[in-house]
Structure 1
């Protein structure tokens, strides 16, 4: 069936989730950490994005429980909302790790991860907008880009950990950086899960 128009309440809620995710990813990527005190501000702001995303997801669940008919299958609406929420949760958790470990200088690998994730969030937002406009054929292109970016992140993770064990001598730093690399790669995996969900929706509704 697909969404009739952008006025559909589920379309609006999914758009809200995707826009909040994009804004959160942009903030995560663009915020400049100058000193340790900035980490608390950074982490708190990401927590705000995460709380806002949760409220949208709760609204989706409430509307699904009340709706007699939905524009696409209920489980697909919920899966899309939850998979986007996982991405934002991952970003918030990683911001908390930066604060916990007092890391203000992201290395080149972290920056590459974050650039790719920011681009994924942009593609997700565009795909959800296309879904609300019933441009199902265009969604596939965004999903492919997201999957390509996830593959890039796989490579970054391998390079980052190899470099970490080669150049870093402080065992505590190794543990901290490895955890952050793994979290960032996991966020890319969450983005791929969004792409998979979008492709499932296209396949069912084309």
Structure 2
């Protein structure tokens, strides 16, 4: 099935998408928010990342539509790209909601969510590097780690919601932070979706 002496353009394109998602998530995590205007800057930059990601997906889809042969099922290539794009969309929505609410006091739970989402995107890139090298079986360990990180985010979500209703008295802030926690939980779920797609690819092709 595979030509091990030649880099496949579809695997290269998938890796490029993964690295783009990783860069965007790292940017969101590393940016130090000190004032409301910082939120606008982050939101605009992540919107640009999201648009650039859409362009990468479009290029890959065009290539799929014009290619007679693909190294793995077309549906798996498309599904993997779309699931990675969901992560990018989710981070962009998270930043947009921070800006919409003017929330600069990022708490420990948001930081914990982001730390684990960053780790997940790192694992996705590692898995896609192995895919580009046609080392499918070795990808499984990274998929498992992504699922473990999602489980950690589940715990963070439950704890954050519980503590929010115990400690916060302002109903507006309860609504705002609940929304932010849910946005980040969704992003962690999108990372798990990528892991599930990776496992499907392994099962069908290894």
* TM-score interval, normalised by the smaller of the two chains: over 0.9
* 5+ residue gaps, structure 1: none
Alignment root-mean-square deviation, CA: 1.1
Q: CA deviation at 1:3?
A: 6.9
- Cα–Cα, structure 1 residues 48 and 4, in superposed 2: closer, same or farther, change >3 Å? farther
Asked if 1:38 corresponds to 2:42, the answer is no
Is the CA contact (8 Å cut-off) linking 1:83 and 1:190 kept in structure 2? yes
TM-score, length of structure 1 as denominator length: 0.97
* 5+ residue gaps, structure 2: none
Q: How does 1:52-131 map to 2 (within 5 A)?
A: 52-131=52-131
Whole-angstrom CA distance in 2 between matches of 1:183 and 1:47:
16
Asked if 1:141 corresponds to 2:141, the answer is yes
Which consecutive aligned stretches of 4+ in structure 1 deviate over 4 angstroms post-superposition?
2-6
Q: CA deviation at 1:34?
A: 1.0
- Cα–Cα, structure 1 residues 10 and 4, in superposed 2: closer, same or farther, change >3 Å? farther
Whole-angstrom CA distance in 1 between matches of 2:155 and 2:60:
35
TM-score, length of structure 2 as denominator length: 0.97
What is aligned with 1:48?
A: 48
Q: CA deviation at 1:105?
A: 1.7
Whole-angstrom CA distance in 2 between matches of 1:105 and 1:145:
30
Is the CA contact (8 Å cut-off) linking 1:150 and 1:192 kept in structure 2? yes
Whole-angstrom CA distance in 1 between matches of 2:131 and 2:13:
12
**What is the count of residue pairs matched by the alignment?**
206
- Cα–Cα, structure 1 residues 140 and 46, in superposed 2: closer, same or farther, change >3 Å? same
